[in-house]
Structure 1
Amino acid sequence: MICIPPAETHTRPPDESDSMPHNDNVSAARLFGAQGASDPLDVLKRVYGYSAFRGQQLDVVEHVVAGGDAVVLFPTGAGKSLCFQIPALCRNGVGIVVSPLIALMRDQVEALKQLGIRAAALNSSLTRDEAITVRRALSAGALDLLYVTPERAVTDGFAEMIGDMDIALFAIDEAHCVSQWGHDFRPEYRGLDCLRSRFPGVPRIALTATADPHTRDDIIERLALSGAKVFTTSFDRPNIAYEIVERDQPRQQLLRFLSRFKGSSGIVYCLSRAKVEDTAEWLNVQGVRALPYHAGMDRVLRDAHQDAFLKEEDLCLVATVAFGMGIDKPDVRYVAHLDLPGSVEAYYQETGRAGRDGLPSEVWMAYGMADVIQRRRMIDEGGAAEEIKRVERAKLNALLGICETAGCRRQAILAHFGEAHPGRCGHCDTCLKPVETWDGTEAAIKALAAVYRTGERFGAGHLVDVLVGTINEKTERFGHVDMPVFGAGKDLPARTWQSIFRQLLAAGLVRTDHSAFGALQLEPEARAVFKRERQVFFRKDRPTSGKAARTAKGGAQRERADLAGSDLELFERLRAERFSIAKELNVPPYVVFPDTTLIALAKQRPRDFDDLLDIPGIGESKRERYGEAFLAVIDGYLDG
């Protein structure tokens, strides 16, 4: 059961004794009563400061508390961590969390300690003495959660170390890393299926925010979770506004986008290290405070830049994809891409780092055909097996389809993850500023007919050959030259047909079967097109001006757009107090309180200690740590 250490006010700087949580049963009894924290709702309220679970969180928590295995497919910001943290606190023993990144462990452990939860990480960054301290705490039953890497989790030594202990659960975070079809495959994840045989009866929960249907199936198979209950919710992030433009003076396009976010934090992604350095330098000249981040930098400097990004509130981090996984900073207000990512999954994961707190945020990307050529060359020259290269090409084409779509961006993104959306979201550039289109219903019928007539066994390249009437060894060998559909698309160039197939993918009318060599197959929605019950429109031209679509209220106050007047003034005072506390404790400001909690404080203006527990995000531990300081700010403002 959870055991909360005595809370400390922020006025006492942390010392070495704070590096490990204490075993204090008196505190546990005081906070949770003699029975301990066995009720999930009680834990949620008293520890995390929230009165109700969101979405399917409670269903997952109750299932795992009861001992069931689970696969959790929730988008970023939907609260996946609570789905294993609370069951670990409600069950006997320690929860073992498998996480791919040491930086992620560090941040999550620090945030848990702020909540009064006994958490630690065991990884290669620890000194010998630090590792011994963690092992002793684990052996003494003085930990609620222990974070480890997948490499450590599968070793015989680790299994022996925890073999005689009560294990509450195993949580496998970023579970898409187990799949070779995923965008971030990590071979070490493949060995995690051993947890089932080594620790029978211990519930396992796999979690990810980025997995298409094929990757989801692979996760279940590779982790031996065929009997697990699958929990999935909408992958829609309604607080995020999407904008994709064709590259045209990209630096100026980027600068216009960033001008809407003065006073806010964000990320700009570039493909190469050199471009990261050049872009960061140029932004600083333009008056945008920016720092570079890439794997080629000195480790100390790279860590310092990441630390600055986490702890400061007005900084643009220019980075390669080496940055981001596991970064829990909730108040990232924008994410921009100066280069095309490699897949929809990568794009979704990277843009998903914006607006984790649920407040309005924007994502922007500039792309051009040079991106496509470079990405394809990277795939072709890579050392992966041909089967993996084929999957990577298909994923790149799917992302191009989203770039080229004339329809709703949100609808196209969600269709890739197997989720239907009615479109016209009103929160993406193609909805706010519709592009010029042409009625492509007849062309769509021809393309879908080519898929059907050839047996749904071939990829887009061969289908284009069929449509434009290309006679080659393959079209002759399979008898496709004799089909009525052969040459039916001679009126359009091959390049246009390639774009049509990408847009059909984005529209959810066809899908790619990676296990069938990238073959395109019809979705049920294609029937309405065949019957001419549904019109299909394709993009006629792409915007080239780069003029940004205003998808949210502009200016530095976008993240608190529902505050005005005295509420906004009080919010800024609370924000300053939070920054002062965070600086003193050497933690990111959001670890003290997220913006959503400060907004609630500014609006509700509690005047006493008991009222603080009515504020979302303030539990028992944080009330005791920071309550007096924030009440003093509120009292001073109202009495002044």
Structure 2
Amino acid sequence: MEIEKRLFDNLQEFFGFDAFKGDQEAIITNILQKKDTFVIMPTGGGKSICYQLPALMSEGTAIVISPLIALMKNQVDQLRSFGGDDSIAHFLNSSLNKSDITRVRQDVIAGKTKLLYVAPESLAKAENVEFLKLITVSFVAVDEAHCISEWGHDFRPEYRKIRSVINSIGSGIPVIALTATATPKVQSDIRKNLQMNDATMFKSSFNRPNLYYEVRPKRNVVKEIVRFIKNNIGKSGIIYCLSRKKVEEIAEVLSINGIKALPYHAGLDAKTRAETQDKFLMEDVEVIVATIAFGMGIDKPDVRYVIHHDIPKSMEGYYQETGRAGRDGGEGHCLAFYSEKDIEKLTKFMKDKPVSEREIGTQILKEVIDYSESSVCRRKQILHYFGENFDETGCNNMCDNCSSQQTSFDADASLLNVLTFIQQQGEKFDDHHIINVFMGQNNQPISSYKHDTHPLFGAGKEHGVIYWKSLIRQAVLNNFLAKDIDHYGLLMLTESGRRFIENPYGIKFILNKPMDAATEDGGDEPTQQTGGAVDTQLLKMLKELRKKIAKQKGLPPFVIFQDPSLDEMCTHYPITIDELKQIHGVGAGKAMKFGSQFVQLIKQYVEENEIDRPQDLVIKGTANKSALKVSIIQNIDRKIGLEDIAHAKGISYEDLLKEVESIVNSGTKLNLGYFVDEIIDEDRQDEVFDYFRSAEVDSIDQALRDLGSEDYTYEEIQLMRIKFMSELGN
């Protein structure tokens, strides 16, 4: 009773809370009783109080091992504000100079410091080990304990040395290990490595009912992100990207589009990172664009959305990063963009790693792919990954799959075939092998097991790959099968699976929706208009205006503006020359030359029809691609051959022609005569010029049909069209 009263008094006095959350009280009591303690608690569950409060109540100093300097700084600042004394908490890491380190040691030896945060690298240094032997250590807290396991998403080899350092500091020191993400495999690694097999384990549910999970195919991703943020103005958010380059790029695009955003990655100096973090906490910045280095040390409860520009490398990473949304229990939208191209990139990263590491990485990545492509409740999938069974009705439509129309199918016959096949052939095949059997896809492993002669070989071909992927994924999610993650993801029958073979019953599974072929725009150039219906009335008016100007100037209409540009004007309603320049295919030259009458007409139309302009869709691009364009223009000015330019830039000749076309169509004049004259003689040039002068459309295929494909090649017509547009339109 006495300890309980002290706990509540301290909770109120230091942290201002009236009650503990979940298992906090039991965890703290356990560590105060000097027992090893293992805590698995999702982000936002209140892990830090589990070691901060007992440290404040214990004799001596608690050592907190933490992987990130940002995390230490944030927690030390908080503790100092609670305790009102700067000596109460310190950190020891590479950011301190000699005099800082001396002061920390003096405070610790004087008994003023209750919590000492140490990076795992600093902990192992001989001088720090010697220093820690001199003090009374109340207990050791190992935060982010999943870093111990190479099956964890953030493996740090230095974490493997923690136990031997603790042993050399002194005997009988209790340990509390804490993590927000640990699969059963990672849990056993943590216990084994920290030698805490007898630790009391406290595992909270991983369900975060306030988070909405959504995965979208990666198309026009920058436009989608800007639109999302503009619809959530005034709310704090984090955007995660895999590369520093992409972080910088996205942060720049957001800033250009009037969103207060800053980049955050390990390539920035410590001062800049600390300032960025503070600005986010103080709400001077709405959005942080970051690599995964950001967020672990941020205790910002009201992050309202987390966007993954690139799909993460692991489900643990995804769970932890999305977990930074809605930590106050309020709204939290978790939006991820998925494309097979990203998966190819991640697979390439693993190519040079040792075989065992590559195998582990492949298994971990496969879970992410299955999650992204599946139409099953996202929450059910996440929780299953962490060893927790969940009935999807409890999702309450808080994921895109549950809140959208789903197609189900009778799965019992196919499920029975799969389970029986595994029972008869042995538990030595992964899902890929099983799908190949049922689809009748022969390869070396299939023939080596003689599965190409099995009666079920090709028996499910008519269903298609998506069907079999859906079936096996849900057989695992519903515990008919289990994946042996230690052994390359081989599928094993569970007790439920064996019971189903003996006594099958009717069961329905959900069919995956085919992921649309996703193409990423880099956000460098506004892309063709997507989403939003074209205003046909305005389109008619703009085409009439284009025709009128074309007649006055003696040009074909497509030289003024091409059809895709007009379509986009009818979705975005640009009413200034600056806005017009953001339209696809309208460069500064074209906007100045032909633009004023168009924006005038659109402005009048918008006013008369009281149109609410979707300004969030007019995404201003950055100058990233313009570096290539400028270089191409300079090379053409120097009269360098186009094949040579393509070779020097490391792009194909076809892609170079597309770039040149885009430059010319946007209103820049290029003198290509030197190159065209070498390929096409003058008479033929005149013939093509005359053709385009009177043509209704600028189609190359149409030109080839009209001029005769035996007389001209596609490339010749394309070059002449570029020259024509350059000379007459610009």
Q: TM-score range by the shorter chain?
A: 0.7 to 0.9
Moved more, 337-346 or 444-453: 444-453
Distance 2:435 2:207 in 1: 32
Q: Kindly state the Cα deviation for residue 44 of structure 1 after the two structures are TM-superposed.
A: 0.9
Matched-pair contact (CA < 8 Å) for 1:503–1:538: no
Tell me if the contact between 2:94 and 2:122 (Cα under 8 Å) persists in the aligned partners.
no
Matched, 1:193 2:166: no
Displacement of 1:100 in angstroms is 0.7
Residues 440-482 of structure 1, C-alpha deviation per residue, up to 9 Å, x if partnerless? 4444443444443332222223223333344444334445455
Which amino acid in the other structure matches residue 361 of structure 2? Answer: E
CA shift, 1:359, in A, is 1.7
Match for 1:234 among 183, 205, 209? 205
Match of 1:130 in 2: 100
In structure 2, what residue type is equivalent to 1:532?
Y
Letter in 2 for 1:169: F
**Is residue 536 of structure 1 aligned with residue 506 of structure 2?**
no
Distance in 1 of aligned mates of 2:261 and 2:188: 40
Contact 1:289-1:314 within 8 A present in 2 as well = yes
Query: Cα distance, 1:130 vs. partner?
Result: 1.0
Mean CA deviation greater in 511-520 or 235-244: 511-520
Query: 8 Å contact 2:466–2:514 — kept in the other structure?
Result: no
Deviation at 1:248, TM superposition (A): 3.0
The answer to whether the aligner puts 1:312 opposite 2:283 as a matched pair is: yes
Q: Quick one: which amino acid aligns to residue 113 of structure 1? A: R
| Equivalent residues of 1:397, 1:502 under 8 A apart | no
Using CA pairs below 8 Å that are at least 6 residues apart, which structure has the higher relative contact order? 1
Question: What code does the residue aligned with 1:193 have?
Answer: R
State whether residues 38 and 89 of structure 1, in contact with CA within 8 Å, keep that contact through their aligned partners in structure 2. no
Inter-partner Cα distance in structure 1 for 2:440 and 2:515: 28
Query: In the alignment, which residue of structure 1 is the partner of 2:597?
Result: none
| Residues 204-246 of structure 1, C-alpha deviations (whole Å, 9 max, x = no match) | 0100001111111111111111111111010011111111122
Q: Note the 1:173-184 alignment, pairs <5 A.
A: 173-184=143-154
Supply the distance in 1 between the matched residues of 2:81 and 2:481 (Cα, whole angstroms).
Answer: 48
**Bigger radius of gyration, 1 or 2?**
2
Matched, 1:393 2:354: no
What is the CA-CA distance between 1:419 and the residue it aligns to?
0.4
Distance 1:184 1:243 in 2: 24
Q: Mapping of 1:133-212 within 5 angstroms?
A: 133-195=103-165, 197-198=167-168, 199-212=170-183
Which residue of structure 2 aligns with residue 46 of structure 1?
A: 13
Q: Is residue 58 of structure 2 the alignment partner of residue 87 of structure 1?
A: no
Which runs of structure 2 are paired with 1:552-631 in the superposition (5 Å)? none
The question of whether the paired residues in 2 share the 8 Å contact of 1:240 and 1:363 is answered with: yes
Q: Residues 263 and 222 from structure 1, CA distance in 2 versus in 1: closer, same or farther, beyond 3 angstroms?
A: same
**Equivalent position to 1:119, from 85, 89, 98:** 89
Deviations 1:68-115 (A, max 9, x none): 001100000111111111121222111110011111111100000011
Q: Distance in 2 between matches of 1:207 and 1:215?
A: 12
Counterpart Cα distance in 1 of 2:515 and 2:499: 27
> Which has the higher mean CA deviation after the structures are superposed, 141-150 or 369-378?
369-378
Measured in 2, the distance between the counterparts of 1:313 and 1:437 equals: 47
1:324-347 deviations in Å (ceiling 9; x for gaps): 223222221110012111111111
Q: Is the 8 A contact 2:301 2:326 kept in 1?
A: yes
Task: Tell me the residue number matched to 1:408.
Answer: 377
Q: Report the CA distance shift for 1:286/1:438 in structure 2 as closer, same or farther (over 3 A).
A: farther
More moved, 98-107 vs 356-365: 356-365
Q: Could you tell me how far apart the structure 2 residues matched to 1:36 and 1:469 are?
A: 67
Compared CA separation, residues 180 and 274, structure 1 to 2 (3 A):
same
**What is the alpha-carbon distance in structure 1 between the residues aligned to residue 453 and residue 233 of structure 2?**
62
Distance 2:243 2:129 in 1: 40
**Cα separation, partners in 2 of 1:500 and 1:101, compared to 1, 3 Å:** same
CA offsets, 1:177-199, max 9 Å, x none?
00011111000000112155332
Go from structure 1 to structure 2 and tell me whether the alpha carbon gap of 1:308 and 1:137 turns closer, same or farther (over 3 Å shift): same
Task: State the 1:516 CA deviation.
Answer: 1.8
Q: Is the 8 A contact 1:170 1:202 kept in 2?
A: yes
- Deviation readout 1:503-560 (Å, 9 max, x if unpaired): 5445555333232232122345545765224322222445899999xxxxxxxxxxxx
The equivalent residue for 2:328 is: 357
The answer as to 2:435 corresponding to 1:468 is no
Q: Against the structure 1 CA distance between its residues 224 and 249, is the aligned structure 2 distance closer, same or farther, given a 3 Å change threshold?
A: same
Task: Quote how far apart the aligned CAs of 1:494 are.
Answer: 4.8
Quick one: distance in 2 between partners of 1:394 and 1:508?
18
1:578-629: per-residue Cα shift (whole Å, max 9, x none)?
A: xxxxxxxxxxxxxxxxxxxxxxxxxxxxxxxxxxxxxxxxxxxxxxxxxxxx
Contact 1:173 1:206 in 2 (8 A): yes
Q: Look up the equivalent residue of 1:128 and give its one-letter code.
A: K
**Deviation string, structure 1 residues 405-453 (Cα, Å, up to 9, x no partner):** 2221111110111101110312111222233444444444434444433
Equivalent of 1:262 in 233, 240, 248: 233
The 1-side partners of 2:508 and 2:318 are apart by: 28
Q: Describe how 1:14-33 pairs up with structure 2 within 5 A.
A: none
Q: Secondary structure, in 3 states, of the residue corresponding to 1:520?
A: strand
Distance 1:196 1:342 in 2: 32
How much does 1:48 deviate? 1.1
The answer to whether the Cα contact below 8 Å between 1:411 and 1:507 also exists between their aligned partners in 2 is no
- Distance in 1, matches of 2:428 and 2:271, equals 51
Structure 1's 529 and 423: CA in aligned 2 closer, same or farther, altered over 3 A?
Answer: farther
Give the stretch that moved more between structures: 456-465 or 175-184. 456-465
Instruction: Report the more deviating stretch, 352-361 or 57-66.
Output: 352-361
Instruction: Give 2:267's aligned amino acid.
Output: G
Could you tell me which of 82, 103, 128 is aligned with 2:70? Answer: 103
- CA 1:223–1:485 in 2, change beyond 3 Å: closer, same or farther? farther
CA RMSD in angstroms, aligned pairs only = 2.7
In the alignment, residue 65 of structure 2 is paired with which amino acid?
A: V
Structure 1 residues 542 and 495 mapped into 2: Cα distance closer, same or farther (>3 Å)? closer
Q: Secondary structure of 1:211's partner?
A: coil
Runs of 4+ with deviation above 6 angstroms: 35-38, 543-548
In the superposition, the TM-score normalised over structure 2's length comes to 0.66
TM-superposed deviation, 1:357: 1.9
Aligned length: 512
The amino acid across from 1:55 in the alignment is: G
- Note closer, same or farther for the CA distance 1:511–1:260 as it changes in structure 2 (3 Å cut): farther
Instruction: Read off the aligned partner of 1:223 and give its amino acid letter.
Output: L
Amino acid corresponding to residue 373 of structure 2 in structure 1 = E
Q: 1:496 to 1:534 in 2, by over 3 A?
A: closer
- Structure-2 residue corresponding to 1:555: none
Change (3 A) 1:527 1:315: farther
Go from structure 1 to structure 2 and tell me whether the alpha carbon gap of 1:449 and 1:537 turns closer, same or farther (over 3 Å shift): farther
C-alpha change, 1:98 and 1:541, in structure 2 (3 Å) is same
Q: Give the aligned residue type for 1:534.
A: I
Gap runs ≥5 in structure 1:
1-34, 549-640
User: Are residue 283 (structure 1) and residue 264 (structure 2) matched?
Assistant: no
Cross-structure match for 1:446: 417
Distance 1:287 1:210, change over 3 A: same
Q: One-letter code of the match for 1:171? A: A
Checking the alignment, whether the CA contact within 8 Å between 2:146 and 2:154 is kept in structure 1 is yes
Matching residue of 1:246: 217
Deviating more after overlay: 285-294 vs 169-178: 285-294
Deviations 1:123-161 (A, max 9, x none): 111121111010011111111110001122234432321
1:315-354 mapped onto 2 (5 Å cutoff): 315-354=286-325
Contact residue 306 and residue 324 of structure 2 kept, 8 A: yes
**Which moves more between the two structures, 358-367 or 204-213?**
358-367
Q: 1:72 aligned to 2:39?
A: yes
